[in-house]
Amino acid sequence: MNYRHAYHVGNHGDVLKHVVLLHLLEALRAKPAPFHLLDSHAGIGLYDLAADATQRGGEYRLGIGAVLADPQAAAALPLYWDALKQLNPALEPGGAGLRHYPGSPWLMQQALREADRLALVELHPEDNETLRINIGGDARIGIHRRDAYEALRGLLPPTPRRGLALIDPAYEQRDEFERIGRALLAAHRRWPVGQIALWYPIKDAGSVDAWAKALARDGLPPSLRVELLIRAATAPDRLNGSGLLLLNPPWRLDQQLKAPLAYLLARLGREPGAATRLEWLVKPKD
């Protein structure tokens, strides 16, 4: 409840999460059937990079700032660039003109068509109110102030059944990995046809590997693991990278993410041990 994403907005974890999210949304939009989106930890939805909290954190400078410093970013990450350009019309190659950064709710809202729906969940009272200012007033969107874990039980399965749930906890509690693992499995049982994208931090690679392998043994559907390390994951007191576990990902997503992931490694991998992972935790059946 004390976590405020404004201090971390636009960092390397955000960049990875949003690049992957945009590919997931594009795949949903490729078919005419309506879909339902859920963001379980929505935050405020839209961020001013000049705000005091963001400037004090400053993490965006080595995240989105490092990406956009390359004049070729638009060609390498076209979906991401187009979203940033829509939000920042003055954005230029090299990064000049970047003032606002989109949270996942804003990106999801832009993907909606007339029959699509979006549920945003944010427990923090001030952030929930700001979220309503930034994203509210759209009849296709429901904004909820409730606990994310309770919301995953209460809002899934959605109507329509086709769709995506993004789960992005703050991981402030010691047992957060275990807790979110149980919630992920329960969400899949309630919504077996749904796509679920779970973001997770990587501090110590060994503990994350053990957690992921345990989940695989507990009955996941086809699940793709996408990770970006900006340094070797051997210092458990630092955010060394992040990943997304994608349940029921769209066809050929693993192939589509190869080039963007390699590009992010080149722009964001600043120290020895920087690496990527793009592999099936649970392989699809032939």
Per-residue model confidence as pLDDT tens digits over 136-152: 899 999 999 999 999 99
Active site residues: 168
Average pLDDT, rounded, for the chain: 95
pLDDT at 1 over 80: no
pTM, whole model, 2 decimals? 0.97
Report the share of the chain in percent with pLDDT over 70. 99
pLDDT at 276 over 80: yes
For 197-216, what is each residue's pLDDT tens digit? 999 999 999 999 999 999 99
Any domain includes 86: no
Where in the sequence is the domain holding 222, given as residue range(s)?
Answer: 12-47+102-282
For 83-98, what is each residue's pLDDT tens digit? 999 999 999 999 999 9
For 36-60, what is each residue's pLDDT tens digit? 999 999 999 999 999 998 999 899 9
Any domain includes 243: yes
pLDDT at 33 over 50: yes
Any domain includes 142: yes
Average pLDDT over residues 120-144: 96
pLDDT at 4 over 80: no
For 221-233, what is each residue's pLDDT tens digit? 999 999 999 999 9
Any domain includes 53: no
Any domain includes 21: yes
Q: Which residues contact 15 (CB under 8 A, 6 or more apart)?
A: 63, 64, 67, 80, 264, 268
- Give how many domains the chain has, as a whole number: 1
Contact between 47 and 101 under an 8 Å Cβ cutoff? The reply is: yes
Any domain includes 145: yes
Any domain includes 135: yes
Closest CA to 27 of 111, 107, 105, 120: 111
Which pLDDT does position 228 carry in this prediction?
A: 98
Which pLDDT does position 156 carry in this prediction?
A: 98
